[in-house]
Homo-oligomer: A and B are copies of this chain.
Amino acid sequence: MPSRQSSAPRYSVGQEVIFQAALECFYRHGYDGTSVRDIAKASGTTPAAMYHYYESKQDLLVDIIGRFMGQSIEVTSAAIGTENGPSAQLFAAARSHVLWNASDVVSSFVVNSEIRSLEPVNRRRVIAQRDKLQRMFDAVVEHGVAEAVFATPWPREASRAVVTMCTAVANWYKSSGELSPEEIADRYGAMALSLVGAREMNPM
């Protein structure tokens, strides 16, 4: 399981309480359905406490989405960096992306549903992060195609399909389910290889 705390900013207890309360509120009621007062109430503090750490509710959303996306990029980068060759790298990247999203379904949902609520300049920054993550998968798939170990005629579409099917695990994953996150992740790693038409199907 990728470490949740790799490079999470080290917040004071007070800030982390507000961060988590806002995340929970956005998850349940959406960004526009949550007021600063709601966040204060959920965190057992006051609106003034939020304004001590954040300029605005928008600033809090930027922090929530930016933290998750930044860590997603790190987790994927680490997975790819520890393997050699496109098959092992794609398997590891898909696997770690599943584990990462399953480990925090609340953040995954808020990130994917509230990009709409970011102001244009913030939205552009997050979309650049999302593109960067996608490009890491793209590079592995394109490398595999160039080396003729992946047979897909559509590396870009295949790479996007891999990322979206792995991200979507957060939409249905239940810790009470039959399969452990590791078992699901192994299967998604193998399915990613199948999707790109990998010649060697078991890089483990």
Contacts and interface: CB of A to CB of B under 8 A. Distances in A.
Nearest to A130: B172
Contacts of A27: 116
Interface residues of A, number: 32
- The A interface is mostly helix, strand or loop, or mixed, namely helix
Nearest to A152: B194
Contact of A30 (B29, B188, B196): B29
Contacts of A191: 152, 154, 157-158, 161, 195
A154 B196 CA distance: 17
Given A33-B33, A154-B190, 6 more contacts: A30-B113, A32-B32, A113-B113, A161-B165, A161-B191, A194-B195
